[in-house]
Amino acid sequence: MFMRTQPPSLFPEAVRIKSTPGASAEGFIQAKPDDTVSLICEITDTNLQEEELNWQRNGAAVSLTDTNKNTPSAVCITPVIPEDDEATFTCSLRKNSTASASVTLKVSYPPQLSGSENITIEEEEDLVLECVMKANPLVTAVLWTLNGSTVDLIGGGFTVTNDGQISRLQINNVDQSLHDGIYQCTAVSPMFPNSKFTGSYVHKTMKFPLVPLIAGLVVVLVTSILAVVSRWKKIAKFNTQSFLWRSLFHVSEQSLVPNYYFFF
């Protein structure tokens, strides 16, 4: 029984990438936001020195000047941003893309917290606060506080869920005396153990439910409109009857005048 094997590359290790900062043996480059990463692609095979090179980022072509298509060819990533995380840069021979080398960026950054800052809600409604935690690596813990004190999950009726990217604090049946104030979510990052990253949310509860108030105003408004319409109909009916009465009275007065006949 024979086993099929892959044919050897026509250009084994013909291309290599040097980077600043340097890459690991697995081809990963560690970086942080605002860093600068320099990549230099070289053709190692002396017989291929005149070959042109191509660069790709995640499979998409990188635009190069004509003078930057020959060895050594350089690409600079500056400034590094969080979206560069997991971006793979590949350099290859233009005529043979199998002769290539690749490196992948690993961008680490502390938690960046965001969410709704000012929230107003009625009593007895439900409230959900979201703390969006953009970080690499993901945060390991989140602490919610109300007016500087850790939220009372049992006594305060709070529920907290966390998937590593969004932490949600939910309150059922909001009570102004218990839930009014400033909420803060604090994230803990394994890469920055001595730092705290906090987002603040101001929550204000309306003492009187707005929905019943609006409903009451609607009832008053509709009642007023109906009263005006009814009054208008009565006035219109009175005017019509008055006109008919005056018309009949006029006819009656005419009927009292004697008729004179002239004969010739």
Domain ranges of the chain: 15-107, 110-206
The pLDDT value given to residue 164: 83
The pLDDT value given to residue 143: 92
CB neighbours of residue 150 within 10 Å: 10
- Please give the mean pLDDT across all residues of the chain: 81
Kindly report the CATH number that applies to the domain delimited by 110-206: 2.60.40.10
Q: What is the pLDDT of residues 140-164, one digit of tens each?
A: 889 999 999 999 988 888 999 998 8
The pLDDT value given to residue 124: 85
* DSSP code of residue 67: G
Rounded Cα distance, 66 and 151, in Å: 62
Superfamily of domain 15-107: Immunoglobulins (2.60.40.10)
Establish whether domains 15-107 and 110-206 are of one fold: yes
pTM beyond 0.85, yes or no? no
Encoded amino acid at 148, one letter? G
Assigned token pair, 72: 């050594």
* DSSP code of residue 263: -
Q: What is the pLDDT of residues 206-260, one digit of tens each?
A: 664 555 556 655 666 667 677 666 666 666 555 555 544 454 445 444 444 444 4
Would you say 113 and 131 are in contact if contact means Cβ atoms under 8 Å apart?
yes
Does residue 13 have a pLDDT over 50? yes
* Least confident segment among 20-29, 62-71, 114-123: 114-123
